[in-house]
Amino acid sequence: MARIFFNGQAMTGGPFHAKVHGHLIGPAATAPGYRFFSVRDECPALLADPGVDTAVEGELYDLPLERLRDVVLPGEPLELELGVIELADGTPALSMVLARGQLERGVHREITEHGGWRAYLATLGREA
């Protein structure tokens, strides 16, 4: 099993939640020290930055490794990669993070100030 933090379309009510349904542990947040980006307004991406004091809301899941490998990861966009983050309680978890080299491209909108994907989507008049 793999503890993985989702903060976008796989969360409860999102269009990709069926891929992880039944494995929810509960609501969670990152520890402070993360920036948050929108990838084409289709999905979010975390980026560790020890220079910031912001945390991002999401949900924690406990997925079988095979489900992560065979169902979740193949559907993730190329702009994201699997990484390890720190949760608010100090424990590590897997999460989809902004892939190396993506920040330098300068094409992803920073949405850190919203604190979470649902709050950001609400500014667009959309729901997760």
What pLDDT, on a 0 to 100 scale, did the predictor assign at position 107?
A: 86
**Banded pLDDT at 126 (limits 50, 70, 90):** confident
Structure tokens at 118: 């649902």
pLDDT in tens, 54-110: 999 999 999 999 999 999 999 999 999 999 999 999 999 999 999 999 988 888 999
Residue 39 has pLDDT above 90, yes or no: yes
Q: String of b and e for 2-22 (b: at least 16 CB within 10 Å)?
A: bbbbbbbbbbeebebbebbee
For residues 69 and 85, what is the distance between their CA atoms, to the nearest angstrom?
Answer: 18
